[in-house]
Structure 1
């Protein structure tokens, strides 16, 4: 392999900002923030918006959208036209 061609892989702490969940992993991303992990070492901190701790597929908690309200608002705004023209 050529020298300097591939990025360096580092151990970092990923923090899910939506539920304050942290885990240790590896990445090629850089971060200026650091955090002390449970082993006493300082690691770069990468903030993520969603992880397995907050994703609906893994947690089983799914958000229900207000589809009925949206449909009613659409019908009220644009009306319903029938095929007979009435």
Structure 2
């Protein structure tokens, strides 16, 4: 077996966007994650908020004719020519 081929196993910090910091051991010194068990809706039991990037949710609902909260399907505004 070759000598000195394994990476150094050091103490590492993992920081979340919510501010939670976990100290563990890894081959890199620090990592940053967007979501963790302290802020993920599955673990917290809170409702998930949807981040709409560029109207993607409305585009999906319009494409598959999904009804909105009132029960009426969302209709695209179309110009009617007379």
- TM-score, length of structure 1 as denominator length: 0.50
Structure 1: gaps of 5 or more residues: 30-43, 80-86
Would you say how many aligned residue pairs link Structure 1 and Structure 2?
60
Deviations 1:67-86 (A, max 9, x none): xx833xx152399xxxxxxx
Q: CA deviation at 1:25?
A: 0.6
Give the alignment's TM-score, normalised by structure 2. Answer: 0.52
Secondary structure of the 1:63 match is coil
Higher relative contact order (CA 8 A, sep 6+): 1
Q: Which whole-Å CA distance do the structure 2 matches of 1:48 and 1:60 have between them? A: 20
Give the root-mean-square deviation of aligned CA atoms. 2.9
